[in-house]
Each structure stands twice: as C-alpha cells, then as structure tokens.
C-alpha cells in the first residue's frame, strides 16, 4: 500500500474516502494522540481530509488543521507544535486525477518502514480502537502554519545582495517561497500562483519539459534565476539566468558541495550521478548511498557526519533544519548561494557532468518484472558488479545502470550513466536489452 512516498493512486479507484477514514482510524489507534493535518490544492483533498480527520477523531485523536499548505509546512509543524504525527493529503508531483496520503514524524522524517507496517497491519485487520460517544478527539484550526514555516526559513538564510527571482508555483501550495524571498529583499515575480489542483498552468511535476514559461520568462527579463515547485512544494528545481534548466544532478552537486567539509558525508540514492561523487571528492567529502525515497535519505541524514541529503528528483534535506524535503528552504538556500557566489550559469559550468539518461516504462506488474530482472542480472554479471540495495544496479567498465520499480507509479525506471557518450550508448543499450528480455 505504501510506496516510497506514502500512499498514492487514482481518486475513486485506489484512493477513496473509505481508505482515508481507515488510515485516520489506524493512525489514532497506534497511539498518535495529536496530529497535524494539511492538504495540497487538489479538490479531492477536501473530501479525503474530512474523512481522515473523522477517522482520527473517532478514535480519540486531537487534530490540528493547517489547511491548504505545502507538505514541508505540515512536516515542520509536527515538531514545533509538539504533536505526535502529521498527515498531508497530497499526490505531490503526480497528475491531477491522483491523490494520496503521506505521514510524518515529529523529527520531520516521513513514516519509515516500521511505522508504515504498523498502519498497514491495522488496515488489513481492521483493528481500530473506536472511542465512545464522549471520547472523540477535537479539531483546532492552525491559521499561521505557513507563517511559522517562513519564519524558520528566514532565520536560517541570509541574502546580503537581494536578487530578482521568478518563482513558478505550478498552481500548487508553495506560496511560502515567494513570501520568504520577498521578506529577504528579493524582487519576486510569480507564475501559476493561483492554487488549483487541476494544474491548468503546467503539469505538477517541474522538469525541463514542463517549465517552458519559466525558462522563457527568465531569459527575457533581468531575473537572476528561476525557481519551480511541484504541487505540494516538497520538490524544488531551478533555471539559471539565461533561462536554461539546471540538471537536477548538478543542483544536487552544488548543494552537496556547499554543505560538505572534509570528512563529512552526503546522503543520496543509488540513482545519483557520478557528478556528485566527483564534486564531493574535490572537498574531501563523500557520498553514502541509500534507497530511492526521501524517507531513506532522511534516515541516513540522522547519522552525525551526514550534513546534507538529496535526490535527483528535486528533494533536498538539510538535517540541521529539518528531515523533510523542504522546497521553499531549498529555494532560499539556492538564492543565497547565487547571491554569494555569482551567476548560477557559472556555478553550473564549474561542475563536471557526464552523459546520463533516465527512462521510464509502464508495466502491469512491477514486482514480477523486477524479479525477472534480478534473476537475469545475477546470471549475466559477476556478483561484485550487482547491487540490490534498491532495484538492480550493475557496474560496467564504461559506466553503470540501474533498473528499479517506481515507488509511486506503475513504472519501471532505467538510469544509465558513463563518462563518455559512446560509453553511455553501450551501457544504456545493455540496460534496455536486459529489461526487454525480461518483459
């Protein structure tokens, strides 16, 4: 039921009010006595939040309602309000017909495997501790959740030379980014600023293909950079002052190098580019690999010498601030970096990059395909070249490839990288050939 980022699926299909009610009951029955809840702008989220709130209160849990806010706003509020857990009704970067449920701990980390297993167990058994007529939980509105989030970011960032920034909110819940940057003195232009869960301005997922308006706006103005979020603003990506999309692996390398010092580590998933390894090696730091998913990066980021965690998806974690991916914080950190170090295009150009390709293939049964991929990979390659931490990663002389099932969609994802273009062609062809044989 839980993928790498909570529960997600089509509304009225796998995600229903009945499911939300049951999850609320299960969370409350696990002993979480006070829960902060919020949602992204999807209209279906209103019904799902009502149902989940009813389930929580029906089992005696008190609810703090943050309203329509960014996911990191809720995740941060859990700890600052001394609540026991947080819930966000969101499908993050998924398209409008989807919605989902993501659960958070007071540390800012998403529910991990053990917490998710406990909830799933109660759902399977329908084991809920329903309260009597006089034992229902309360509900309290939280009107200043976004203000609290913004204040925390302002306290952690200093921008001595304010910049001109274009912020594409993607009709999502990330307005706190524009507010914080303005508070820090920047001139901010917003695109797709009206929250609308049908995402009329562009698809919810921000990438090089969906940010045409942002790239064009930055290119034709005096803006120093552009920022974009997904629907719930846990992700952040960027465009440099020329209107060129910044590759997410490069952005990860920039954040990692800025955070790291000699002897420290950065947490990143197994599909991360060699670009990050090289950038950290230059400052005497290193990468520690995790499974794909912000919960796994956050878990590794709790170790004392891990100073930053990031995913090429656009999720960035500064463990001294919070263990949740915080898109608005990342936006402010990037603006701070550009203000201090110079144009983003120059920072990007100084990062060594290698040919990398990412593909996705829709399949009916992810588990069956991945089982076949593992069997074939173990037959074809030496054991030392095959890593099964998350999916199947195979190291080759020319580079590496990774085949893994998406944790949120019915997709098999393929990543291949090499230090030369011809090497990438060979490695990618090998990866796709292996996958096609299994299909």
Phi, psi (deg, nearest 5) at residue 430:
-65, -45
Burial classification of residue 366, based on how many CB atoms lie within 10 Å of its CB (0-12 exposed, 13-18 middle, 19 or more buried):
middle
SS3 call for 159: coil
Q: Residue 248, SS3? A: helix
Catalytic annotation, pick one of 92, 204, 313, 406: 92
CA geometry: angle at 142 spanning 140 and 145, to 5°? 155
Spatial CB neighbours of 12, under 8 Å, sequence gap ≥ 6: none
- Whether 92 is a known active-site residue: answer yes
Q: In the structure encoding, which two tokens stand for residue 435, read together?
A: 């996958």
Yes or no: say if 66 and 78 are a contact pair by the CB < 8 Å rule: no
Distance of alpha carbon 107 from its chain centroid, rounded? 16
Which residues touch 10 (CB under 8 Å, ≥6 apart)?
A: 97, 98
3 state DSSP class of 324: coil
Return all residues near 279 (Cβ < 8 A) that are at least 6 apart: 253, 254, 256, 257, 351, 352
Q: What is the CA radius of gyration of the chain?
A: 21
DSSP 94-134: S-TTEEEEEEE-TTSPBP-HHHHHHHHHHHHHT------TT
- Mind telling me the catalytic residues? 92
């Amino acid at each position: 039921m839980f993928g790498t980022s909570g529960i997600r699926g089509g509304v009225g299909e796998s995600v229903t009010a009945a499911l939300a009610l049951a999850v609320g009951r299960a969370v409350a029955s696990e002993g979480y006595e006070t829960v902060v809840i919020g949602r992204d702008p999807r209209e279906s989220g209103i019904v799902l939040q009502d149902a989940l709130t009813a389930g929580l209160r029906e089992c005696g849990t008190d609810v703090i309602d943050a309203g329509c806010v960014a996911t990191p706003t809720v995740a941060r509020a859990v700890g600052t309000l001394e609540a026991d857990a947080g819930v966000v009704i969101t499908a993050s970067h998924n398209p409008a017909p989807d919605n989902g449920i993501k659960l958070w701990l007071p540390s800012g980390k998403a529910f991990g495997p053990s917490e998710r297993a406990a909830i799933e167990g109660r759902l399977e058994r329908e084991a809920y501790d329903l309260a009597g007529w006089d034992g229902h939980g309360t509900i309290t509105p939280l009107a200043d959740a976004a203000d609290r989030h913004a204040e925390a970011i302002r306290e952690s960032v200093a921008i001595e030379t304010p910049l001109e920034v274009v912020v594409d909110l993607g009709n999502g819940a990330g307005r706190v980014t524009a507010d914080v940057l303005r508070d820090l003195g920047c001139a901010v232009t917003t695109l797709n600023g009206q929250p609308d869960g049908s995402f009329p301005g562009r698809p919810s997922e921000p990438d090089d293909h969906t940010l045409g308006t942002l790239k064009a706006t930055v290119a034709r103005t005096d803006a120093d950079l552009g920022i974009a979020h997904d629907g719930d603003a846990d992700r952040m990506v960027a465009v440099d002052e020329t209107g060129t999309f910044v590759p997410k692996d490069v952005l990860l390398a920039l954040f990692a190098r800025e955070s790291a010092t000699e002897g420290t580590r950065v947490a990143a998933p197994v599909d991360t580019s060699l670009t990050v390894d090289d950038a950290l090696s230059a400052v005497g730091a290193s990468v520690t690999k995790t499974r794909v998913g912000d919960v796994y990066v956050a878990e590794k980021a709790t170790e004392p010498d891990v100073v930053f965690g990031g995913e090429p998806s656009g999720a960035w974690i500064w463990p001294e601030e919070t263990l949740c991916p915080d898109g608005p914080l990342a936006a402010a950190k990037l603006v701070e970096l550009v203000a201090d170090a110079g144009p983003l295009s120059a920072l990007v150009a100084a990062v060594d990059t290698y040919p990398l390709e990412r593909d996705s293939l829709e399949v009916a049964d992810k588990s069956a395909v991945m089982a076949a991929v593992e069997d074939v990979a173990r037959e074809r390659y030496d054991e030392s070249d095959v890593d099964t931490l998350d999916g199947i990663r195979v190291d080759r002389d020319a580079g590496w490839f990774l085949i893994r099932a998406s944790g949120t969609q019915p997709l098999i994802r393929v990543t291949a990288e090499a230090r030369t273009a011809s090497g990438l062609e060979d490695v990618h062809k090998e990866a796709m050939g292996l996958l096609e044989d299994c299909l």
